[in-house]
Each structure stands twice: as structure tokens, then as C-alpha cells.
Amino acid sequence: MAKQVRVIDPENEQLGILELEDALARAEQFGLDLVEVAGTADPPVCRIMDYGQYKYQKSKRQHEAKKNQKIIQLKEIKLRPRTEEHDFQFKLKHALEFIEDGNKVKVSVFFRGREMAHQELGRRLLDKFSELSSEAAIIETTPRMEGRTLSMILAPQKK
């Protein structure tokens, strides 16, 4: 614990380097708290302030910042290699809605049994999907196989 501290008063004026007891007495004169703001400095820097009000203001700023931020979710659209055109368009429409809301979309094609021998069908399906959604989305992760699943991730375009 330091014997001397550099003190800043409530009006942001430097009071200079004071003994710790003198600094505490000054804070008490103002009816406020002595708060260490830079402990690694030599000598440590302390400020005379209302610490309760400082904590309150800080929590309000954090609350405002949290209120304004957008949480991006990853939504998933599941397809099969033999998905019919109407079902494909329906799922595409939903994916575009997710992207419009600012979410990322993972488009997956699942293969079962002998469908693994025709992975090009799944690739064509994903290519068609990315082509039809190219106005609203960019491909964040290109199509890749993970076991029996071929998947890619689409993200909203920057405005």
C-alpha cells in the first residue's frame, strides 16, 4: 500500500501528491470517496468522487450498450438430395427471411444410404441455393462434407 498518492479533486483539478491520510481527509471534507484509478502509476493516482454514483452511471452505460447490440443467431435449413422444387423454394424463402432479420443460415444436405454415391446432387442443390440467395447473402463458408452431411453457411450482405 502506497504512503503517498496523486490526488484529483471532483472538478478534475490536480491537488498534487499527498500523504494517504491527508488524501482521505480531503475526500472526507468533500463528503465523497477516495478511489484509486491508476494503481500501477508511481505514485498511484486517486480521485475524489462519489463511488456509488460512479457505479450506477457505469451500469446504466452498460445497459444502454447492451440494449443497442444485435445478437446474430445461426439458423439451419435442412435439405435432402431429392428435395422437390416446391419444398426447395419454400425453404429458400424461409432462409431469405432469416437473412433479412440479420441471422446467419446454415444450409445442410443430408445423405442416406446409396445417396452418398451421388454427392454431386447435393452440391448442385447448394449451388442453386447460393445463386438464388446471392442478392441478400454472401457465402461465409463454402460447401464441405462432414460425415454424411454437406453444408455451407450464408451470412447477410453488408449494407
Q: pLDDT for 32-61, tens place per residue? A: 999 998 888 888 999 999 999 989 999 999
Q: Are residues 115 and 82 in the same domain?
A: yes
Nearest C-alpha neighbor of 51 from the set 27, 34, 28, 26: 34
- 159: pLDDT confidence band, cut at 50, 70 and 90? low
- 110: pLDDT confidence band, cut at 50, 70 and 90? very high
> pLDDT tens, 61-107?
999 888 877 778 899 999 999 999 999 999 999 999 999 988 999 99
**Whole-structure pTM value:** 0.59
Name the domain boundary from 49, 66, 83: 66
Dihedral angle computed from the Cα positions of residues 26, 28, 33 and 35, in that order, rounded to the nearest 10 degrees: 30
Query: Percent helix, strand and coil across the chain, each rounded to 5?
Result: 40, 35, 25
State the total domains in the chain: 2
CB–CB of 36/24 below 8 Å?
no
